[in-house]
Structure 1
Amino acid sequence: MQGAALLSIASLIAKILSAVYRVPFQNMVSNTGFYVYQQVYPIYGIGMTIALSGLPMFISKLVAETTNPGEQRALLQQVTWLLSGFSVGAFLLLQLFSATIARGMGDLGLTPIIQSVSWMFLFAPILSVSRGFFQGHFDMVPTAVSQLIEQVVRVSVILSVAFIAMKLHWNVYRMGSWAMSSAPVAAVFASAVMIYYWRRSVVKKVVSQAAPVQQFSNTVIAKRVLIEGGAISLLASMMVLLQLVDSFSVMRGLVDGGLPAMAAKALKGVFDRGQPLVQLGLVVASAFASSLLPSLTEALGRGRQLQFERLAKTVLRISLVIATAAAVGMMALMPQINQVLFGDTSGSAALDVYALSVIFATLITILNSILQSMNHYRETVIALSIGLVVKAFLNHYMVVHFGIAGASWATVLALAAMTTLLLQRVPALKSALLDRPFITKLIVTSGGMLLGVRLAVTLVQSLGLPPFNSGRLDALVVIVVGIPVGVALFIWLAVKSDLLTPREWLMVPYVPTLLKRLHR
């Protein structure tokens, strides 16, 4: 539990860093520079997810299943060789077909940027195997430290490159190549951290000194890596895979819809502003979910089916409430958030729609964890595959006819399809989540908050309270007023409507502490 908490905190900090750095980065490199970076980012995102969470989680499971040091050594050797072949293959594929991939994205200028990010795949074996080894021995410290070091180094390199590019007036593609080189540079530092922990590990000495005893054939290991490890990696990459579909279709769709290429690139950069906003919205909901999910696993492990179902229902309902509050809160203040973070209000309507992704992505994350605790992997892979098909099928048509708002709707509809499919696999949870009185109260509460915040914003603006004559400062004052109004209004409406039961309220973070203070 301590290890899981440590890893959750490290992941939370890394996610916040990963979301926040995009704001100063976009401010320095403009919408077009942001477009160049974000077009190739999903390739990095997939590689990072594989090396950080997907494969280490699977390898830790293999290590935990194998208690004999000799068998563990043989297993690690097999997995290392297998992953090395995959990594070299991915590297060569990206190097040799970078122009083809860039052409598919509608912009040949992206070729060197794709080649730049490809080098990080060569570090996947050492990072995946070492992280999986330590996690399999319940030591989460190396993974947590390497993850933080990796993100700090990568963000530092990206922002330094953006600053230099701005001062020296580099073109956006040169800037993008250097910025994306942050991925292999960060991987070098993360690998160095893992080697340091490996060299001083007591467990490593036992494993490395034991004679290798092969437990599985190479075919069995390859099959398990592909099916189990692949399933975990795919599900962890859900939002990144949807962004990859956008990379191949949004810019092309905008051009086919009649926009000049340069205007389409800038508008795609505006659309990409939604990703850090959604990521921050997901951080809160995901952190809450991860704090409750260990209780689910414990209940299931002890055969307490009734307790498991009750906890699962509670986690889903509370997470839906928090995610909805976050999404609707962002929608209520989107023009001001857009202005403060990115310097103008371009694309606010499309970002309003994109914010709805927080609700469905949160539910998918939790439903996936619940199904995984029940050893149901296939259902989530099928749901993800169908969601990607829905996104790919709708995206081009929606972008041509509705612009970047169409791409936002395609993402929301794809996530909604995935959520619906996953809920079909757990009928008891479906009935609890889609309970008509609960949904009605949630809609009324969130709608009341939206209306109240918008009225507060209108009042502040009509009174001329922001006197700064600066778009950003004026918008910041509105946000500072709007957020506490929204939070207070949502909680008041939720309590008045009995949106959550008293037991559910006590499971919401900080509520028990707040109630104790109010009681005193």
Structure 2
Amino acid sequence: MRKQAATSSHPKRHRQSRGLVNGALLLSFAALIAKVLSAFYRIPLQNLVGNTGFYVYQQVYPLYGIAMTFALSGLPVFISKLIAEIDEVAVRRQVAKRVLSILAVFSGCLFGLLFFGAPVIATAMGDRGLIPLIQVVSGMALFMPGLAVGRGFAQGLFDMRPTAISQVVEQVLRVAIIIVVAWLAASQHWIVYRMGAWAMSGALFGAVAALIVFVPFYQQLFGQQDQAVLSKDYDWLVLARRLLREGGTICLFAAVVLLLQLVDSFTVKRGLVSAGMTQAGAKSLKGVYDRAQPLIQLGLVVATSFSATLLPTLSAALNGRREKAVQTTLTTLIHVSVALSVTATAGLIVLMPMINLVLFGSMTGSMALAIYCLSIVFASLISTYNSILQSMNQYRLSLTALLAGVLAKALFNYQAVVSFGINGASWMTVISLFVMLVVIWLGSPAEMREALTGGRFVRKLGLATMVMAVITGFIANQLQVSLGPGRIAAILVTLVGVIVGVITFVGMALWTRLFSTREWLTLPGGKRLLKIMVQFENN
């Protein structure tokens, strides 16, 4: 009888496991779409409104980005874990209502702080023209509880569709409004601050559209009169503490790059003015510096999108206490993340002047952008290590690393800008991320360190990347000399450079046996490349 029951329960567990993996892949795909949209719209925005207009938008963007990180990826992760640990339907709804109430109080306070504190914040940024933009962004705080609880509750039941749909709908509508506003601003000659305020309003329209997706959920949540008795584990104070400790850590680490950008908003423009630049010149150069943001986002998308699909496998191995599977998945996760981030960084640095010209119309600030691109390597490694630590329910180390890195940026960024201009700000971002990585590295379990340092992976990766960079740089330079200056020529040089870089790196990776068979299969087209390699060796 027991054997029959066990046998009958096996298909059910299999379906749940398959549903969880499919849901994770759906969520990863939606996140990829959102990230790509979020990176690409900045390019036409900068081309339409110029460096100063881009500066105005980017000064306030980190405030929006942090709020959306809380509502989209930070708090929903914590809430989903909270809901998943509860078996009774009535208790789930009661807990969800309490979390919603706690977040509503927090969001109300945050809205008041941003809306009424906008003059103080804008003054601290060195530009009081930003006041209306900050006040528009403050409205995002009011949508955060509804979005976070709706997404978190659905994910806790392993239903990723509402989160995926709301994420894509929000980004598509927001980006569409921003591009339309930028076109109107350019054609109607709006002042840059009016353009910025209307562009930021796209976030509010996007949030409303995303919240509409969860209307059926809230109708069900508040349409039921539950009389469930909650245990002490779900007291108001206990939930608030867990939201602050666990949820807060997840949120802050998800917004690590945005926190560093927020420090830039308060220090770069002011530092440039202190160094002797005019207000107009400082705003324009800060806009040039902000060109790095879409490049970094695209680099991180490449570096983390494929490795993120391995996290459910790692969590399953950890829950099953299968040590060999844990180590294998850890190694694959870290190798893929490091290799993709190092390759993307090297390619961006080698081709930076051409990429800058192609995307933004000039080569101004190429050195600062190339330096900034080094942060892709550290940011992707930090993201990967933090995801692993979260799978192990370790939060304190991540929080310590985050505080150390942000503190380093906050303490030294202003003086670095005064002394070295926007190059100094780029170096401080890289150094701050390096500080975070070192803290995580020193405090992480031995198996996480061995996943990177074990074997000859680092040496092989260094050789493959160096050969790729030299060959790509040489061909790009020769082609640039032949074609001459101009944006059209730069497009051709960039396309050829990317193709040459990819082919060279893949060839070197196969020749040096950089990846294991399992790691190749994780990458797109990896199975086909392995077949080619086997055929070549047999011949």
Separation of aligned partners in 2, 1:96 and 1:75: 32
Partner residue of 2:87?
67
* Cα offsets for 1:344-373 (capped at 9, x unmatched): 111111111111111111111110111111
Partner residue of 2:440?
422
Matched, 1:31 2:46: no
Partner residue of 2:462?
443
Displacement after TM superposition at 1:196 (Å): 4.0
Give the alignment partner of residue 106 of structure 1, picking from 122, 126, 150.
Answer: 126
Separation of aligned partners in 2, 1:292 and 1:431: 18
- Contact kept, 8 Å, 1:10 with 1:144, in 2: the verdict is yes
| Equivalent runs, 1:443-462 vs 2, <5 Å | 443-462=462-481
Partner residue of 2:18?
none
> 1:82 corresponds to which letter in structure 2?
I
Q: Which SS does the other structure have where 1:138 is aligned?
A: coil
Partner residue of 1:486?
501
- Contact kept, 8 Å, 1:253 with 1:396, in 2: the verdict is yes
Give the alignment partner of residue 363 of structure 2, picking from 327, 339, 345.
Answer: 345
Partner residue of 2:214?
194
> 2:386 corresponds to which letter in structure 1?
N
- Contact kept, 8 Å, 2:330 with 2:451, in 1: the verdict is no
| Equivalent runs, 1:35-434 vs 2, <5 Å | 35-196=55-216, 198-199=218-219, 208-215=224-231, 216-424=234-442, 425-434=444-453
- Contact kept, 8 Å, 2:94 with 2:226, in 1: the verdict is no
Deviates more, 1:443-452 or 1:499-508: 499-508
- Contact kept, 8 Å, 2:150 with 2:217, in 1: the verdict is no
Separation of aligned partners in 1, 2:451 and 2:75: 33
Partner residue of 1:498?
513
> 1:49 corresponds to which letter in structure 2?
T
Q: Which SS does the other structure have where 1:81 is aligned?
A: helix
Give the alignment partner of residue 508 of structure 1, picking from 484, 508, 523.
Answer: 523
Displacement after TM superposition at 1:393 (Å): 1.8
Separation of aligned partners in 2, 1:506 and 1:161: 43
> 1:491 corresponds to which letter in structure 2?
V
Please, which runs of 5 or more residues in structure 1 have no aligned partner?
Answer: none
* Cα offsets for 1:358-409 (capped at 9, x unmatched): 1111111110111111111111011111010111122112111111111111
- Contact kept, 8 Å, 2:367 with 2:423, in 1: the verdict is yes
Please, which runs of 5 or more residues in structure 2 have no aligned partner?
Answer: 1-20
- Contact kept, 8 Å, 2:327 with 2:451, in 1: the verdict is no
- Contact kept, 8 Å, 2:520 with 2:530, in 1: the verdict is no
Q: Could you tell me the TM-score, scaled by structure 2's length? A: 0.92
Separation of aligned partners in 1, 2:140 and 2:35: 19
Separation of aligned partners in 2, 1:505 and 1:145: 31
Partner residue of 2:37?
17
- Contact kept, 8 Å, 1:398 with 1:407, in 2: the verdict is yes
* Cα offsets for 1:292-321 (capped at 9, x unmatched): 121111111111112212221222122111
- Contact kept, 8 Å, 1:142 with 1:197, in 2: the verdict is no
Separation of aligned partners in 2, 1:172 and 1:291: 41
- Calculate the aligned-residue CA RMSD, in Å: 1.8
Separation of aligned partners in 2, 1:65 and 1:475: 54
Q: Could you tell me the TM-score, scaled by structure 1's length? A: 0.95
| Equivalent runs, 1:460-471 vs 2, <5 Å | 460-464=479-483, 471=486
Displacement after TM superposition at 1:517 (Å): 6.0
**Cα 1:443–1:515 shift into 2, 3 Å:** closer
Separation of aligned partners in 2, 1:139 and 1:209: 23
Q: Which SS does the other structure have where 1:463 is aligned?
A: helix
> 2:348 corresponds to which letter in structure 1?
M
Displacement after TM superposition at 1:274 (Å): 0.5
> 1:37 corresponds to which letter in structure 2?
Y
Separation of aligned partners in 1, 2:183 and 2:106: 35
Matched residues, number: 512
